[in-house]
Amino acid sequence: MVLVYSLHLSCSVKFFMFMVCVWFSCFIAFLVVILVFVASIFISSRSFYNREKSSSFECGFDSMVLSRVPFSLRFFLLTIVFLVFDVEVVLFIPMCMSFMFSDMIVVFICSLFFILVLLIGLFNEWLEGSLSWI
């Protein structure tokens, strides 16, 4: 009888600890939501009044900022190359993990073809000089 009572006490202590963790995590989540709400109020209240921004949009409004900002095309192309290779990593890691669950020859040929296409694209970018900064 004592053993059963001690098991019951242990389960109730575990349940109590579980409930404390649940309520604590709910409290932290609620606190984060309140902090984000208060921060958004402070950030949005610091706007300066401007007659042009407050008036309705019509054809002859005065521009607040320049519409033509200097833009580096080389930086944009390098960003696109980075994005392609970043997506390649995201696609290649699950492909390597599928070696264990499928035919190894088929996965190897597909991954080799995938890498070959990417290397041809990288070689083309290198020949065009898109990867050099100067």
The mean per-residue pLDDT over the stretch 5-15 comes to: 64
> According to the model, what pLDDT value does residue 18 have?
80
> According to the model, what pLDDT value does residue 126 have?
85
Do 99 and 107 touch, CB atoms closer than 8 A? yes
**Predicted confidence band at 34 (pLDDT cuts at 50, 70, 90)?**
very high
More confident residue, 49 or 87: 87
Q: Is the pLDDT of residue 112 over 60?
A: yes
**Predicted confidence band at 110 (pLDDT cuts at 50, 70, 90)?**
confident
Mean pLDDT of the chain: 77
Q: Where are the domains of the chain?
A: 2-45, 73-128
3-state secondary structure at position 1: coil
CB-based contacts of 66-75 (< 8 A; 24+ apart in sequence): 74/130, 74/133
**Predicted confidence band at 56 (pLDDT cuts at 50, 70, 90)?**
low
> According to the model, what pLDDT value does residue 55 have?
63
Do 88 and 118 touch, CB atoms closer than 8 A? yes
